Amino acid sequence: MTHDELEDAIPLYAAGTLYRTERQALEAHLLSGCASCHSMLQDYQSLAAHLPLGLSQTSPPESLKSTIMATPDPAPIPPDGTHTQPARSSREPGGWMDHLLHPASQDKSLSLPWAIGLTTLVILTAGGYLAWTMAEQHADVASKIQQIQASLQEQSTTLATVQRETDSQTKALAELRHDLQQQTSEAAEVKEQLARHEAELQEARLQLSLRDDARTSHRPQDELALLFRRPDIRPLSLTGSDLAKRASGFLLYDPVSHKIWLYAVNLPASPAGTTYQLWAVRGKPISIGTFQISRGKTTHLLVKKVSSFTGVKTFVVSLEPSGGRPQPTGPMYLLNRRTLFLYLTKKPYANPGPPDHRNPPLGALPDFSA
């Protein structure tokens, strides 16, 4: 028998109506020390003890007396006045009544069989009702547990479905984000290409415009003004030496026409038999061209076509004998020393800043006569 079945048998055991095999199984279980079953048995025994006291007296049936009188005489009583009844287990049917009814005499106990039967019937009815109630409660609890389990199972299934949908949406969102990033990168590349093509187109338009303007212009001053309008060309300043402190000038190089432009201001008039000569220093001096300044003249524009100025760091203007010399021999009147020469390239040119007025003295320049 299971523990629940043993608990259901406790009310019948307290009433003394349990079958022999079931009674033995319950007694063995009680001897094993089950505290809950002992407590339940005590509660039912207390209930059974109060049941006879609450019964109302009823008149015995008329046939009870004739039935009793027809009963054979009981066995003779031993001389010592003691009854030789076999010992019974306190747990046999009816044995629990021994501590409830005080047997004043054997005759008096035999006169109340109807009370015992009625009490037994009441106890059986109460026990059956209690057992039925407990069974109903167990059935209700089991049904509720099954409903809760079914609800939990349904919720678990729903949660798993939601989790799968969430994972699918997360994966789709990651793919969309990846596609968006890729499209953004491609759009940035296309934008950069468009900007580069637009810059090249703008440069081509500017070059074409400058060439058209150069063809329509007949004076060097007009071409110089066109060069100043170009944003990619910056002037390279020249400063006067101690021989001509008020003198100055600037250089421009046009990579389209491969011309160099020197605009000199406030140079002293070149004496007779002399001429000014422009030099580009790239390892050794290279002559670019010569020009003369007459008395009363304050400015002069020198335009010469050259090849390239890669590696040129220094430009000077010296006073040489008429016709010029292959190497500088005369004094320096304009000079400049820089690490880069400003000429047009495809890359944007960095602004060299204001003119450098801290040129070294003439003695620090290389010896051109060597």
Q: What are the pLDDT digits (tens) for 114-156?
A: 767 778 888 888 888 889 988 989 998 999 999 999 999 999 9
Q: Are 15 and 123 in contact (CB under 8 A)?
A: yes
DSSP 366: -
Per mean pLDDT, which range of 37-51, 75-89, 307-321 is the poorest?
75-89
pLDDT value of position 210: 58
Per-residue model confidence as pLDDT tens digits over 85-96: 444 444 444 444
Neighbours of 354 (CB within 10 A): 7
> What mean pLDDT, rounded, does the chain reach?
76
Per the DSSP assignment, residues forming a β-bridge with 289 are 278
Per-residue model confidence as pLDDT tens digits over 285-295: 889 999 999 98
More confident residue, 78 or 207: 207
- What is the pTM assigned to this prediction? 0.36
What domains can you pick out in the chain, each with its CATH number?
Answer: 1-56+88-176 (no CATH), 233-364 (2.60.40)
Q: Are 293 and 300 in contact (CB under 8 A)?
A: yes
pLDDT value of position 359: 37
pLDDT higher than 80, residue 1: no
Q: Which of 366, 340, 195 is nearest to 253 (CA)?
A: 340
**Angstrom distance (rounded) from CA 155 to CA 152:** 5
283-293 burial, b for 16+ CB within 10 Å, e for fewer?
eebebbbbbeb
| Cα atoms in the Cβ-side hemisphere of radius 13 Å centred on 225 | 7
Per-residue model confidence as pLDDT tens digits over 312-337: 778 899 999 999 999 999 999 998 85
Per-residue model confidence as pLDDT tens digits over 163-218: 999 999 999 999 999 999 999 999 999 999 999 888 888 777 766 765 665 555 45
Q: Which of 359, 60, 367, 349 is nearest to 230 (CA)?
A: 349
More confident residue, 64 or 81: 64
pLDDT higher than 50, residue 283: yes
State the average pLDDT over residues 37-51: 83
Per the DSSP assignment, residues forming a β-bridge with 321 are 274
Neighbours of 251 (CB within 10 A): 23
Highest mean pLDDT among 57-66, 74-83, 351-360: 57-66
Per mean pLDDT, which range of 5-14, 49-58, 97-106 is the poorest?
97-106
pLDDT value of position 231: 72
- Residue 170 phi/psi, 5° resolution? -65, -45
What are the percentages of helix, strand and coil residues in the chain, rounded to 5? Answer: 50, 15, 35
pLDDT value of position 327: 92
pLDDT value of position 255: 76
Q: Are 1 and 22 in contact (CB under 8 A)?
A: yes
